[in-house]
Structure 1
Amino acid sequence: MIFTRRDFIKQLGFVSIGFSLLGTACMSNETGENVAESDESNRPEDINAWLRVMEDGSILILTGKMELGQGIRIAVAQVAAEELNTSPDLVEVNLAETGVTANEGYTAGSRSIETSAMSIRNAAAAAREKLLNLASEKWGVPQSELTLENGTISGGNEKMSLYEVLEGRQLREEIGQPSEIYGKTRRKYVGQPVPRKDISQMVRGNLDYVQDLDFPGMVHARVIRPSGYTSKLGSLDDSSLEGFPGFLKLVRIGSFVGVIAEEEYQAIKLSWEVNDLAQWELGDELPAGVPLKEHLKTLDAEVETEEEKGDWESAIKEAPIQHKAAYYKPYLMHAANGPSCAVAYFEDEKLQVWSHTQGVYPLRETLANLLEIPEASIHVKGVPGSGCYGHNGADDVAAEAALLAVEFPGRHVRLQWMRDEEHRWEPYGTAMIMELEAGLNSDGKIQGWKYDFWSDGHSTRPNGEPKTLLPARFLDRDHGVPGVGFKGGAVRNSKPYYAIDALQTTSHIFQGPLRKSALRALGAFGNIFAIECFMDELAHKAGKDPVEFRLDHLDDERAVACLDRIKKMTSEVKKGNGEGLGYAFAHYKNSASYFAVAAHVQLNDKGIVKVKKMWGVIDSGETINPDGLKNQTEGGMIQAASWALREEVQFDKEHVTSRDWHTYPIFRFEEIPEVEVEVIDRVEEKPLGAGEAAQGPSAAAVVNAVFDATGERIRDLPVNPVEKYLR
């Protein structure tokens, strides 16, 4: 099959935005009226599923992962450029898109480099070897005398572009096992801080996100929200809307209500009008009359022993030093700076959706079941959005836009949530309770350990079931609610990575009162926060330095190296009055990145904690882009510090009351600490997931630093609740 750049663009059949193949000029003159036929015959074991050689000499990389700000686009470009000995400037990356890229599920769990980038690495290395073999056969020149560089093969008296060598075809052979990985042996681009092309565009505000999409004739929509999760629409007299400026249609499907208008502000004003006209039945009350920490303990829970070894009970009871502590984290928001947004277009029984979802294929499957449309008739294009890591409102707004587009075919329907909607209706990171007990021997070593934690499930992402999407619960057909969801997220990092001979870890999985799903690090945030604070308390009980105490319980040289380095980085820190220094460590998932962290905090005269500086040491195995790895780690440290000090979802009996940046405060620019991160690059090792490694340890380091400053143990988050700022 001859496959040109032009063919690829024609196959897409819809608008591509500024950072994709076609450029921003196409935004205003491509209507996107024809859905591309899905080309899902490409098997993931074939080179063609990951890599295409284009007519102009560029290399097109296809990744099923989404760019969420983690820098996956430049990382996979570096990996491919290395194996093909081609400048990253000649490598283009097409992000997740049904029928075009491989189905890689979700961009989640710090797996993008471990999975997608390594698949692309192998495909590019295999492509290099097959291209050199083709040229050798074509010219009768030994492969040892051929050179591949910047999209061209030369040798003897011959020189051809890769496209010419292939005669316009693509490599459909299986990847197999390449004989050499340049990323391990040459490292011309891999391991280098190759700049991201999108950063300067972000700074200038000219990068196109899903929120910026524009189509000829596009209309705007808003959804009218009830007061609570189980509210039902009683009555709605819409007779007065006909003469409203810009009004096109009111959509009512059961208790799901939306308005469509010519202009966005018209849609907003219409939503206000309809909200005044609608009469709602309130539904079930939320448990606002009792502290949430107390309420969670009253819920029915599925109890299961997750880890057990040795006679932990006797080891604790017989220990000369015994200690107990309980910790708590509240519900946390994704708190995306840009409210969720999507565009949908429906015509001739085919649906197109542009979304910042983290899983284009799972979303397509779930939309198909929600709308009762064949999957083959739905095309989902991943477009980066202003958001954050985890399952926020992106899938929900895509489903709502799709529902409205089906009711208003032939024109692109754009739906963007308002700030109030984003805060009150997104799925949160669940609240957790963590209780620990341990016994120390006379040498200050842990001889027995008991850990119990209470948690909801940590992911209810779209999985084919409509009930995972917010609008499904308000339609006339009762789809139900997701339930607990992914229990494994709660268990993550619940087993301590330290060498302890006798221990038990027990999970208590409940279904809580608020909507929840995956938030960065899932249960690892709460588990590591509690374990690392408890390790600090045990070190104090043993009369030992907190870093040395951890080192005494580690037998992994990579973990030891991280802690040794963090200790050196902070050896010259001087603490003033009301200041403290705290440490923490974790091996994310006990299988991904190693991370050690220190935090320097200061208390003001109102008792409000401020983080002055944080230090981090991360070992993610082989480093693809050290700047990208540092950026991920710095961002995780700052976000975790904000979670620890400021953030908490609050609610009354009807619904969530944290509806803006005053009632749900996050770090402001002036609160962001200085951050210093060092990377341990282990070329001989495989790359490890890093995007979530900093969350739990960073929060623990901050809280441990508060103890160092005050002598007071804070075990419930946030350290600085909203009330402190309102004094």
Structure 2
Amino acid sequence: MIPPSLQANPSLDRWVGFPAPGVVRIAFGKVEYGQGALTALAQIAAEELDVAMSQVEVANAATGAVPDEGMTVGSMSVEVSGASVRAACAEVRALFVAEACRRLDCAPGQIDIADGAFRLDGAPSGETYWTLSPAIDLAQPPSGTARWKSQDQHRLVGTSTPRLDLPAKMFGGGFIQDIALPGMRHARVLRQPGPTARLAFLDEAAAWKAAGDADLDILTEGSFVAFISSSEAAAARAHAAAEPTTRWDTPRDLPHEVTEAASLKDMAATDLEEGAPLGGPSNRRRLQAAYSRPYISHASMSPSCGIAWFEDGRLRVWTHAQGVYPPRLQIARITGLPPEAIEMEHAQGAGCYGHNGAEDAAFDAAFIASRRPGAPIRVQWRREDEFGHAPVSTAMRVEMTAELDAAGRLADWTTEIWTNLHVNRGRTLIETALPQGPPDLPPPNQATAFGGRLNAVPSYDIPAVRVKEHLVIHSPVRTSSLRGLGGPVNTYAGECFLDELAQAAGKDPLAFRLEMLSEPRARAVVERIGAVCGWAERGPGGEGQGLGLGYDRHRDRGAFVAVAARVSVDEEVRLEHLWCVADAGLIINPDGARNQIEGGMIMAASWALKEQVKLEGAGVASVTWDDYPILRFDEVPPVDVELIVPPGAPPQGIGEISLGPCLAAIGNAVAHALGTRLRDLPYTRDRIARALLAE
């Protein structure tokens, strides 16, 4: 079988090449933004080709240089791109083995390869990939007949390999912010106070005065304003001087009430349903609960950056976005240039796990460069820009209804969700300022709504289930994808409600879950999490110490994941220990997998205890680290991650899998510690106090 990405990019030379003796060039369309994909995909290639990791040169993602695999999303780099890399390399290996057999007059079974050198019956043959490559044209489609290695043949896959991208980053390079081009000019963009605001007055004199002796160029088109200088400091000073005196017509004015997820219920929405309608009166016991998470930010460690250079009719753009091909089409629309005149190159950023300001910074730079040709333009956002203008992850409210039969078994489940869009790349920030304005949003449908329904039903054997989603298209602020989309929130809500149902049924929460799990791999992770966290000694709770767990199958088709959390609670929640047991099939790089799972748990812990975007006035009101606290290093507990690798299982995504179960584990641990339940994230001191007073 030929994997979909390889079918879409069917020429083998797009994926594999041998450009110089001892060097194997591997290309794929996924990008590295902190998840370790570059290293894992290189391991897969080295494994199938039987070359050393030191011989692998990974092509940097750039239009024309790598296959078009769209955006790097959904924790699917290894699952999707990895399958194509593996298949392409297996095809190439088979072609080279056939050529070696022709030259050496032998059968394929007599050939083996080590570090790119072909051996005949275990002895050196004098042939290598590089001696054979002139005779083989890789500009051909895959045959679909080449067989890749089985798990028992692996020598590199399944071993912990150092990250290829870390050395440059550790020694002062490796990020887009480190790129310095000759004659580079720096730009700061003056942002509108909301998408409807229109420029009424710009104090150019104040900007010129603040720039001092440095050269300054002010670009204005519609309500888009950029201050450009060869001095980054001068551009920043001009921006700072002009910002407070600029006047805008029709700025946005949001009431503070829209900060809370409950406000979504008062907004116009499109209703989408799956499953049979809820039945009428029943003699089963029916319970209901509502959970929520507020708007949250990416809170990337470094604000976004974009670089563009327009010269001789061609625009070259550097971006740390999640891909290079889709943004090219948006830049063409913004600049008026044909897509074939635009070259996109990926440069790594400080991590985003979704749609942050990376694309917008590149769009800024591309537009400015198209209007100011001849010199590279670098746009560096401020922290206030990143918090205030990058897309945020939507707030969500999840209301659930469940029925227990006479034996206390879960018989019926309904989830009702209120959410904004989780994937929203069509309306760019810059286009709200340009005269032509942004394109209209497409009408909502099941495809645009999928992000809010991920894991909307718990991953158990439940006889009857249904989901109703209220999709609010026109949200108070721009929303788009953040790690896991709606899946972590739905898992949090569902798994916490399951603990409530277990209590109502008079059953232990772990045993209650096992009653509803027939899948052996699911049972294995749940049983194992109970063993590693000491569930048998959990105790009755209610005395400030709590132990909770959460489980799901990622997106109902991927990895099986269980997390446990131990907490102590008085005025605030303190994390004492986190555990995770995950079955994600074949693991390419165990150390990298554990890093991703642990990182997801720490991010989820920060969401659970700290993070909330505050909305008011022109938009986002929490634009500094003081306004938007995140989990600190000294608040991170010990984290243990255990991987179960069943034989023969294909690899599945890792990057998003631990967030939902970890949110739920913390929620259930806090309820166990307090003897009362908090349902709205984050678990701040005020919410704890209100919950205790309400008892």
**For this structure pair, what is the TM-score category when the shorter chain's length is used for normalisation?**
over 0.9
Which residue of structure 1 lines up, in the alignment, with residue 523 of structure 2?
560
Which residue of structure 1 lines up, in the alignment, with residue 39 of structure 2?
74
**Residue of structure 2 aligned with 1:104, choices 44, 64, 69:** 69
Which residue of structure 1 lines up, in the alignment, with residue 560 of structure 2?
594
Offset at 1:547?
A: 1.0
Change beyond 3 A, Cα 1:92–1:127: same
Which residue of structure 2 lines up, in the alignment, with residue 256 of structure 1?
224
Change beyond 3 A, Cα 1:261–1:290: closer
**Residue of structure 1 aligned with 2:435, choices 476, 481, 487:** 476
Which residue of structure 2 lines up, in the alignment, with residue 517 of structure 1?
480
Offset at 1:45?
A: 2.1
Which residue of structure 2 lines up, in the alignment, with residue 149 of structure 1?
114
Which residue of structure 2 lines up, in the alignment, with residue 167 of structure 1?
134
Structure 1 residue runs without a partner (length 5+): 1-39
Q: Is the 8 A contact 2:413 2:457 kept in 1?
A: no
Q: Is the 8 A contact 1:392 1:426 kept in 2?
A: yes
Offset at 1:178?
A: 4.5
Change beyond 3 A, Cα 1:350–1:142: same
Change beyond 3 A, Cα 1:253–1:722: farther
Report the TM-score when normalising by structure 1.
Answer: 0.89
Offset at 1:312?
A: 4.5
Which residue of structure 2 lines up, in the alignment, with residue 547 of structure 1?
510
Which residue of structure 2 lines up, in the alignment, with residue 220 of structure 1?
186
Q: How many residues align?
A: 674
The answer to whether 1:699 aligns with 2:666 is no
Q: Distance in 1 between matches of 2:7 and 2:521?
A: 39
Q: Distance in 2 between matches of 1:199 and 1:431?
A: 34
Which residue of structure 1 lines up, in the alignment, with residue 197 of structure 2?
231
- Please give the secondary structure, in 1, of the residue aligned with 2:616: coil
Q: Is the 8 A contact 1:326 1:435 kept in 2?
A: yes
Q: Distance in 1 between matches of 2:335 and 2:666?
A: 47
Letter in 2 for 1:161: T
Equivalences for residues 570-589 of structure 1 within 5 A? 570-571=533-534, 577-589=543-555
Q: Distance in 2 between matches of 1:291 and 1:357?
A: 27
- Please give the secondary structure, in 2, of the residue aligned with 1:182: coil
| 642-651 or 172-181, larger mean C-alpha shift | 172-181
Q: Distance in 2 between matches of 1:409 and 1:642?
A: 43
Equivalences for residues 343-362 of structure 1 within 5 A? 343-362=307-326
Deviations 1:71-99 (A, max 9, x none): 11110111111111111111111232111
Offset at 1:481?
A: 5.8
Which residue of structure 1 lines up, in the alignment, with residue 9 of structure 2?
44
The answer to whether 1:275 aligns with 2:243 is yes
Q: Distance in 2 between matches of 1:720 and 1:386?
A: 28
Change beyond 3 A, Cα 1:219–1:41: farther
Structure 2 residue runs without a partner (length 5+): 690-695
Deviations 1:249-270 (A, max 9, x none): 1111100100111121111101
Once superposed, what is the RMSD of the aligned Cα atoms?
Answer: 2.2
Q: Is the 8 A contact 1:79 1:183 kept in 2?
A: no
- Please give the secondary structure, in 2, of the residue aligned with 1:364: helix
Which residue of structure 1 lines up, in the alignment, with residue 597 of structure 2?
633
Q: Is the 8 A contact 1:592 1:690 kept in 2?
A: no
Change beyond 3 A, Cα 1:151–1:170: farther
Deviations 1:332-360 (A, max 9, x none): 10110110001100011210000001021
Change beyond 3 A, Cα 1:289–1:139: closer
Letter in 2 for 1:297: K
Letter in 1 for 2:298: H
- Please give the secondary structure, in 1, of the residue aligned with 2:387: helix
Letter in 2 for 1:135: A
Offset at 1:623?
A: 1.1
Q: Distance in 1 between matches of 2:552 and 2:101?
A: 50
Deviations 1:134-190 (A, max 9, x none): 111123233222232212223377312312111276522322335432252411000
Q: Is the 8 A contact 2:216 2:235 kept in 1?
A: no
**Residue of structure 1 aligned with 2:411, choices 447, 456, 459:** 447
Which residue of structure 1 lines up, in the alignment, with residue 615 of structure 2?
651
Q: Distance in 2 between matches of 1:624 and 1:370?
A: 40
Equivalences for residues 212-611 of structure 1 within 5 A? 212-239=178-205, 241=207, 244-289=212-257, 292-308=260-276, 312-314=278-280, 317-319=282-284, 321-461=285-425, 465=426, 468-480=427-439, 482=441, 486-511=448-473, 512-571=475-534, 577-604=543-570, 607-611=571-575
Which residue of structure 2 lines up, in the alignment, with residue 197 of structure 1?
164
- Please give the secondary structure, in 1, of the residue aligned with 2:477: coil
- Please give the secondary structure, in 2, of the residue aligned with 1:313: coil
Q: Distance in 2 between matches of 1:48 and 1:488?
A: 35
Change beyond 3 A, Cα 1:289–1:55: closer
Equivalences for residues 81-92 of structure 1 within 5 A? 81-92=46-57
Q: Distance in 2 between matches of 1:458 and 1:555?
A: 32
Offset at 1:591?
A: 0.7
- Please give the secondary structure, in 2, of the residue aligned with 1:326: strand
**Residue of structure 1 aligned with 2:151, choices 152, 161, 184:** 184
- Please give the secondary structure, in 2, of the residue aligned with 1:247: coil
Change beyond 3 A, Cα 1:117–1:134: same
- Please give the secondary structure, in 2, of the residue aligned with 1:158: strand
Letter in 1 for 2:455: N
Q: Is the 8 A contact 1:345 1:413 kept in 2?
A: yes
- Please give the secondary structure, in 1, of the residue aligned with 2:348: coil
Change beyond 3 A, Cα 1:186–1:398: same
Change beyond 3 A, Cα 1:583–1:331: same
Offset at 1:441?
A: 1.5
Offset at 1:381?
A: 0.3
Q: Distance in 2 between matches of 1:597 and 1:285?
A: 41
Q: Distance in 1 between matches of 2:282 and 2:6?
A: 61
Report the TM-score when normalising by structure 2.
Answer: 0.93
Deviations 1:184-223 (A, max 9, x none): 2411000111121333554x34341011111111111100
Change beyond 3 A, Cα 1:690–1:299: same
Letter in 1 for 2:438: H
Q: Distance in 2 between matches of 1:714 and 1:299?
A: 25
- Please give the secondary structure, in 1, of the residue aligned with 2:665: helix
Which residue of structure 2 lines up, in the alignment, with residue 624 of structure 1?
588
- Please give the secondary structure, in 2, of the residue aligned with 1:54: strand
Letter in 2 for 1:608: E
The answer to whether 1:208 aligns with 2:174 is yes
Q: Is the 8 A contact 1:457 1:488 kept in 2?
A: no
Q: Distance in 2 between matches of 1:616 and 1:539?
A: 22
Identity of aligned residues (%): 36
Change beyond 3 A, Cα 1:706–1:237: closer
Letter in 1 for 2:271: V
Q: Distance in 2 between matches of 1:231 and 1:724?
A: 39
Change beyond 3 A, Cα 1:563–1:723: closer
Offset at 1:272?
A: 1.1
Offset at 1:501?
A: 1.2
Q: Distance in 1 between matches of 2:368 and 2:269?
A: 38
Letter in 2 for 1:284: R
Letter in 1 for 2:219: V
